Amino acid sequence: MITVIAGGVGAARLLAGLVRVVDPAEVVAVVNVGDDLELHGLRICPDLDTITYTLADAVDPDRGWGLRDESWQAMEMVGRYGGESWFGLGDRDLGTHLYRTQRLAEGADLVAVTEEITRAWGLALRLLPVTTDRLRTMVTLGQDDAPGPDSPGLTAGTEVGFQEYFVQRRHAVPVAAVRVDGADLARPAPGVLEAIADADVVVVAPSNPIVSIAPVLAVPGVRRALVARRDDVVAVSPIVAGAALKGPADRLMTELGHEASVVGVARLYAPFAATLVVDEADLDAANIIEAEGIRPVVAPTVMRTPQIAAELGRVVIDAGRGLA
């Protein structure tokens, strides 16, 4: 079994590569739910849906999230009434949130509903929300020296939900702190700790270390379960040559006092991962990474094509099995 600690887009791309080199039924993704939000009375799970749509080859390739061939009539109607239309919910995507919300209201839990949705898309891999309890990544905004149209002069110290930071303000504002609301009371969903304990290899996907990976590890018991498997944990750096490939991972690391580089990622991940896969662009950092107590493996990590994603999947599995 290959267990993958997963956020959104980067994790979805790696998973799409992994399922081309191993039996998809052997893959379990433990997925972040800290990005989730309630909007229009609906429960929305961006990371679960991004992975589902990507693996079903239904995701919009340009956005990396949401469905291709989407229309936006419903949100236009909401906007017409002055309702909240800043979070882009497409008309087909809304069907997912309607179904999930109804099933949760009927008393089904998020593990069961996620299973129903992935099965409906014909996926063989298992997606597990890290918890079925409430978990919300909250972002405290820092001093914005260049207020723009996306951050209407908000004072430093304002705390907003993750999507209000990431989408509504287009993450165009500095961050002073990130916390995971509900982490202290959340319990790992059934199967999560077993998926980590029983895996041949545990993979930390190239997701945002601060707002995708950290919230998963913030659920009591999860980080400890990873530390116990450290020798078999392989992480893939989301930072390449000092920059994030998508989203604010580099800026968030800097704003929160970490080095936005593969060395900064190595320092964050060394306690629970024995191996860090970095892109060839970071070959010269290999010895510094080693000094941080984590073994570097250098390979192409920019998944421009499904073939590169599959090759990266192969590298990750071999590294986890001590073959690379």
Residue 132, φ and ψ in degrees, nearest 5: -100, 0
Binders of ligand FO1 in range 288-307 (CB under 6 A):
none
Query: Which of 14, 4, 6 has its CA nearest to residue 301?
Result: 14
Closest contact distance (angstroms) between CB of 63 and ligand FO1 is: 7
Q: With binding defined as CB under 6 A, does residue 269 bind ligand FO1?
A: no
Residue 17's SS3 state is helix
Binding mask 141-180 for ligand FO1 (x = CB under 6 A): ----------------------x--xx-------------
Please state whether beta strands 175-181 and 2-6 pair in parallel, antiparallel, or not at all (unpaired): unpaired
**Interface residue with ligand FO1, options 35, 232, 250, 292 (CB under 6 A):** 35
Q: With binding defined as CB under 6 A, does residue 46 bind ligand FO1?
A: yes
Give the C-alpha separation, 305 to 90, whole Å: 26
Give the C-alpha separation, 263 to 316, whole Å: 19
Give the C-alpha separation, 236 to 316, whole Å: 8
Q: With binding defined as CB under 6 A, does residue 215 bind ligand FO1?
A: no
Element containing residue 300 per DSSP (H, E):
none
Interface segment toward ligand FO1; rule CB under 6 A; list 18-26, 82-90, 180-188, 298-306: 82-90
Q: With binding defined as CB under 6 A, does residue 66 bind ligand FO1?
A: yes
- CB atoms under 10 Å from CB of 228, counted, come to 14
* # residues near ligand FO1 by CB under 6 A: 18
Interface segment toward ligand FO1; rule CB under 6 A; list 87-95, 124-132, 214-222, 258-266: 87-95
Residue 127's SS3 state is strand
Contact residues for ligand FO1, defined by CB under 6 A: 7-9, 35, 44, 46-47, 49-50, 65-66, 87-89, 93, 163, 166-167
